[in-house]
Homo-oligomer: A and B are copies of this chain.
Amino acid sequence: LELQKKGHPSSLLKDLAKSENLAVTDLEFAQFLDSSDPLHTFRSEFHYPSVSDLDLGTSTSDCIYMCGQFLGLQPKSTRAMVVQEIDKWAKKGVRGHAHVADKPWVTIELTVKEASAQIVGALPVEVCVMNTLSVNLHVGMLAFYRPTPDRHKIMLEAKAFPSDHFAIQSQIQVHGYDADESMVIVAPRPGEETLRMEDIMQTIEEQGDTIALILFGGVHYYTGQVFDMAQITEAGHKKGCKVAFDLAHAVGNIPLHLHDWNVDFACWCTYKYLNSGPGGISGFFVHERHAHDYSFPRMEGWWGHDLRQRFRMDNVRSLLPGADGFQSSNPPVLMTMCLLASLELIGRTSIEELRAKSIFLTGYLELLLNVFYSKDDPKRKGPYAELVTPDDISQRGAQLSLKFSVPMRKVFDFMTERGVVVDLREPNVMRVAPVPIYNSFEDVHKFISLLGEAFSKLDE
């Protein structure tokens, strides 16, 4: 499989099928793509549930799990790595903190630092794994949202994820401002679903002088749209705003260059494309240029202070440089291990390789949707599917958000009963994410077949 990045994957896939004497819609073509995929073997490194595992039937064949945008699958190495720490606690008690050779807990956060930094395009000093995502939104805002009467606004996208919306709203209130006045929400144009970059830029241009903080999603959870973080950051900085991103749907999904983009802070959960399990630990980024600035207030706790000083217990401030200095508590060891297992696995490939496959895998899903269920195809009749996610590959990651001409819930139930795991998001989309590290082209092909069955059934 030649993973070229030039051109839209649809046309490349069509060319490839032609050169193999196959139709793009043939199951054989999906199988051909899988056999040419250098990452195909990664699937066997995960616990990939069968249909019967999910209590959706008696079949022992694999389900169609395309729900990494909600919760990633479990690496097979996770369990042993967690159990190892449980057993360390059983055998060593408190001495697991400092009197063991392997992974002493007193510095456990360092085990996941470098790989996390690499995945988001950051220096190690810029990244720390700690807390959970919504908490880290507050950690970042408490440090970087310093409203004044002249500059008190926070700019965010419309239909931001509830946690982000509530976190922003409540931070504004904590500082005594009025959320209605201080939230600048950039919305799609009437009749459109996704944001136009020009509208984002215009908002920054027009209101930037009163915006204290731009806090955007990197990839929109509902539409799957990827925002141009480099450009938003640059435009925001020109106007004197701080610029931050919630990377929940971006990390492990698309390449990130937080350092080069000059982002002020960012945070992400790790249970989606980083496969760290339910309630997984979160990542936090703060740019190097803030790394040695200890002058601004932040949410402080002992763990953010120098290790030796920390146990000197004299309450003399000695914040660690960079992201580490934003820690509060000693970290949850088992959650850190869940992340480490996954990072080690991802470390055997790279975000670039995963992205290269992802472009084709999601492109293939789009192509088949268009071939079979396009609204615009004059020849076809019956239900159709529409893409909410942009067609432009630079504006999307693994996830496609779909709308149907028939009731979404009925399509979903039909497919779930047949072993498809995707999710619905209110009010109106099905989110489908073929995840390059464990999904195959054949998964996509099966998904499309079952969608066809659902449509036929609903069309009766």
- Name A's B-contacting residues (CB within 8 A): 47, 49, 53-55, 65, 67, 70-71, 73-74, 78-79, 82-83, 85-87, 89-97, 99, 105, 108, 131-135, 137-138, 142, 159-163, 165-167, 169-170, 173-174, 222, 269, 277-282, 297-305, 310-315, 317, 328-336, 338, 421, 423, 425-427
Contacts and interface: CB of A to CB of B under 8 A. Distances in A.
Contacts of A92: 49, 53-54
Contact of A329 (B86, B163, B317): B163
B328 A279 contact: no
A70 to B, nearest CB: 5
A82 B338 CA distance: 12
A96 B71 CA distance: 10
Contacts of A54: 91-93, 95, 99
Nearest to A173: B297
Given A279-B329, A330-B132, A162 B93 contact: no
12 contacts: A47-B91, A49-B93, A67-B94, A71-B94, A161-B302, A162-B305, A163-B303, A163-B329, A166-B315, A167-B299, A167-B328, A334-B338
Contacts of A315: 159-160, 162, 165-166
A313 B159 contact: yes
Contacts of A278: 85, 89, 96-97, 105, 108, 330, 332-333
Contacts of A87: 79
A367 to B, nearest CB: 26
A81 to B, nearest CB: 10
Nearest to A158: B315
Q: Which 10 A-B pairs have the closest CB atoms?
A: A134-B301, A132-B329, A173-B297, A134-B328, A47-B90, A279-B332, A170-B300, A71-B94, A166-B300, A162-B302
Contacts of A167: 299-301, 328
A138 B327 CA distance: 12
Among A49, A67, A312, A423, the most chain B Cβ lie within 10 Å of the Cβ of A49
Contacts of A108: 278-279
B53 A91 contact: yes
Contacts of A71: 89, 93-94, 96-97
A19 to B, nearest CB: 36
Nearest to A54: B95
Contact of A332 (B79, B173, B335, B427): B335
Contacts of A163: 301-303, 328-329
Contacts of A89: 47, 71, 74, 277-278
Nearest to A280: B332
Contacts of A160: 315
A304 B174 CA distance: 16
Nearest to A80: B86
A78 B333 CA distance: 14
Contacts of A53: 91-92
Contacts of A174: 142, 297-299
B335 A421 contact: no
Contacts of A300: 166-167, 169-170
A137 B70 CA distance: 30
A249 B398 CA distance: 47
A396 to B, nearest CB: 20
A133 to B, nearest CB: 6
Contacts of A297: 170, 173-174
A99 B419 CA distance: 13
B78 A86 contact: yes
A204 to B, nearest CB: 22
A107 to B, nearest CB: 12
A132 B328 contact: yes
Nearest to A96: B278
Given A82-B82, A328-B167, A331-B279, A312 B132 contact: no
